[in-house]
Chain A
């Protein structure tokens, strides 16, 4: 994109994913949560008995745990949850061919550019609409090598042993209140297995769309990256703008085995009426490497801290987090690294931008257990404030029980400097262009790690959001 393109020339609308599709779900549960709803979900999915038991037990755990009193404002969430549809089945069965997806759902994803992206540069695509995956496909080349890329339901049905061996082992139902909720009502998400030594060179992608009003989406993803394997998984999320609140609570569990390497990228652009409370965690074994690239641009409130549990010698974890908090948004994001083995290393880089009445908070944990010899971790957080009404916070927890560890944390908060603006304007830019350029430079370290189309999207968004921020 030319650097001197002005904002008006970009011609972008406000939130371009805010459109609503008229749909005809095949099943819609009554709003609110109950044991009956949980049973209904399990029945619709024709699940084995153990899964129903797991769900019901998780529901008890959910009900016994108090609402978190930290992070964002959850004071009205309980009332919101009473009105939420916990399960909404959009079509009878998941399709393997794009042509078989119902027209109105297809239209939605066409407008979001998903099929086009698949043709161009993806190894596999999954699309979730409301509560279910409506489409899942994997290119033959990878299927032949034994890669599994299925909906989570098909994973349970077709690979029951592999599934049961790992499911809920990384994030047990009792991990936190919202992990318990997800465990009770989960629906949709991906099941991924990358066999030993296989490298999937181009990304797998899952796309999550909430269309209905007062919808709760609870996807559950389980990824096993076997020894020496490599892959990259991308998820994107959007929803229409309603006056009522919606709710999204995913659980993502990843196992990175010895010498494997996995990257998980999220570009969350939920509409501003969405609560987004997600638990994402990877267990990283000997010489394994896990990278989280976490982009939080949308939602009303996001509380999400991708985690790396480094359990094998020399395991490495990396979290790159970028958050944008505009008017009415609170991004409470960050990352956690837990060093539980010798010579493990980690890096967290967080960049946040707060604009208008937005609030961006970094919350993170760096924990080194006794015996994790020579663990090294470095955390850097930078926050940029664009208005006198915007707010930023930094809440890191550093807990070190091992004296050979070497741990560093640094954070800075600043506004766009008058000198920087003045310099760029003296070179012929107007103030808006200069501002956009400075912000782009600020997020560059994260943006350059994104796949090209996302990087462009992010840049456009920044341009758009800069509109009216000057003066």
Chain B
């Protein structure tokens, strides 16, 4: 960690959550009034709620009590200012390395320990009326949109504790707004870099595509301070050497809204280094005839939990929910999903695939909920798991709650291992057992990757997976 980076955030308070005097409001730091109010209310709610235990269905397989939140140092909002970045030169090297090898992008955002440090929109996109700014700026320019997505969100009871903490400690985030009919050609690429150990930081990504607009966002999560050109925490081989261990917790939220006829692609690529515990809550709202894709990739960290909700809010809406994870050492991945069909004539399709090596473990709990009156719903949900080692474990809970009758819904879940015959074939062609296994895992993932519409994004994810599994 360099001193330049350390200066960009306010001095944190150690063990703050455990102290009764703690307040997430920082006096003298400019917080828009509405954000400050929401922060205070969320803090009050957080303080009143008990921590979820394993007795709660939603936390049955992930022991939150193992995370000592009280010992962490919250990184409070404040001092960081978006740097006026003219080119990639001023970006942190982790981001530069990735961008140099990725395709086009419309904008770049860098957050360090939850605080925005860089934010840049390509001039061409800005000229079309696209807005990319910090949450703080958006609180002034687009208060209604922000309020709806962030401060009036209604999390499930089991998620409310962490959601309240997320809002109370919100350090920063970005706001992308694509006006009516405008098509963002290339994605906005955001880097969420964790730099300090023992911290608790919170950031939010906000995406809104107006009628007929098109938007794409990649949220990439990584540990900073790694050697090399930005492969921090990624590869099986480099992981231990490259990214330092950070005993930190990252809270992240994403609000993605697509108005009528819009097309939005949202990708979360989590490749933190060891030690990090990551909690992500994503709310996706698909209005009439919109097409929304979310893609969650979990490769890094020690514990990674994602709650992904797709609300099919308008007739003709379509939600693709995709995810991949590869867990080794003692990594634990927990994915919760909700396909909520509130409107008729909507379509949702979920495909989540995971592979586990060493002592890796994973949970998939997915729910398709079809409300009364959401007739002509088409909803599908598939979860497939590969167990590659003796000590790996997987749980799958694919649930359905259907209150309309004219629907087509199905779900499927499988847990198994790589087929011996396939391994044998590849070994007969000269690969070692390990190589054959990794190649087959990559093939197993390819079905999901192929569903990502943007080629550049697909390549970025493919590369990250290759680095992780050491292909």
Contact = CB atoms under 8 A, between A and B. Distances in A.
Contacts of B413: 396, 398, 407-409
Per DSSP, chain A at the interface is strand
Given A392-B402, A393-B402, A411-B400, A400 B394 contact: yes
Interface in B357-405: 372-373, 375, 385, 387-405
A412 interface: yes
A390 interface: yes
Nearest to A367: B395
A33 B57 CA distance: 31
23 contacts: A388-B404, A394-B399, A395-B397, A396-B399, A396-B413, A398-B395, A398-B396, A398-B397, A400-B393, A400-B415, A402-B387, A403-B387, A403-B390, A403-B417, A405-B415, A407-B413, A408-B412, A408-B413, A409-B412, A409-B413, A411-B412, A413-B407, A414-B409
B47 interface: no
B407 A394 contact: no
Most buried by B among A387, A390, A393: A393
B429 to A, nearest CB: 24
B295 to A, nearest CB: 24
A413 B412 contact: no
Given A370-B391, A386-B405, 8 more contacts: A385-B404, A394-B398, A401-B393, A403-B388, A406-B414, A407-B415, A410-B412, A413-B408
B402 A403 contact: no
A425 B408 CA distance: 23
Interface residues of A, number: 34
Contacts of B404: 385, 388
A391 B403 contact: yes
A396 B407 contact: no
Contacts of A415: 405-407
A136 to B, nearest CB: 43
Contacts of A400: 385, 387, 393-396, 415
B411 A405 contact: no
B395 A397 contact: yes
B335 to A, nearest CB: 14
Nearest to A355: B405
Given A383-B402, A399-B395, A411-B400, A394 B372 contact: no
B400 A393 contact: yes
B416 interface: yes
B410 interface: yes
A412 B407 CA distance: 10
Nearest to B363: A399
Classify chain B's interface size.
35 or more
Per DSSP, chain B at the interface is strand
A328 to B, nearest CB: 16
Contacts of A402: 387
A397 B402 CA distance: 18
A63 B404 CA distance: 39
B400 A413 contact: yes
A404 interface: yes
Nearest to B61: A399
Nearest to B400: A394
A411 B409 CA distance: 8
Contacts of B373: 388
A396 B397 contact: yes
Contacts of B392: 403
Nearest to A385: B405
Contact of A391 (B57, B402, B406): B402
Interface string B409-427: 1111111110000000000
A391 B373 CA distance: 12
A398 to B, nearest CB: 4
Interface in A350-395: 370, 383, 385-395
A50 interface: no
A391 B369 CA distance: 11
Most buried by B among A370, A385, A398: A398
Give the 10 A-B residue pairs with the shortest CB-CB distance, closest first: A403-B387, A385-B405, A394-B400, A398-B396, A413-B409, A412-B410, A407-B415, A406-B416, A400-B415, A409-B413
Contacts of A398: 394-397, 413, 415
Nearest to B397: A397
Contacts of B417: 403-404, 406
Interface in B104-128: none
Contacts of B391: 370
Contacts of B403: 391
B172 to A, nearest CB: 39
B416 A407 contact: yes
Given A388-B372, A396-B398, A399-B395, A410 B410 contact: yes
A227 to B, nearest CB: 33
Given A397-B397, A413-B409, A415-B407, A405 B416 contact: yes
A403 B389 contact: yes
A412 B381 CA distance: 10
Contacts of B393: 399-401
Contacts of B415: 398, 400, 405-407
Contacts of A396: 396-399, 413
Contacts of A403: 387-390, 392, 417
Contacts of B408: 413-414
Contacts of B402: 383, 385, 391-393, 413
Nearest to B57: A70
Nearest to A410: B412
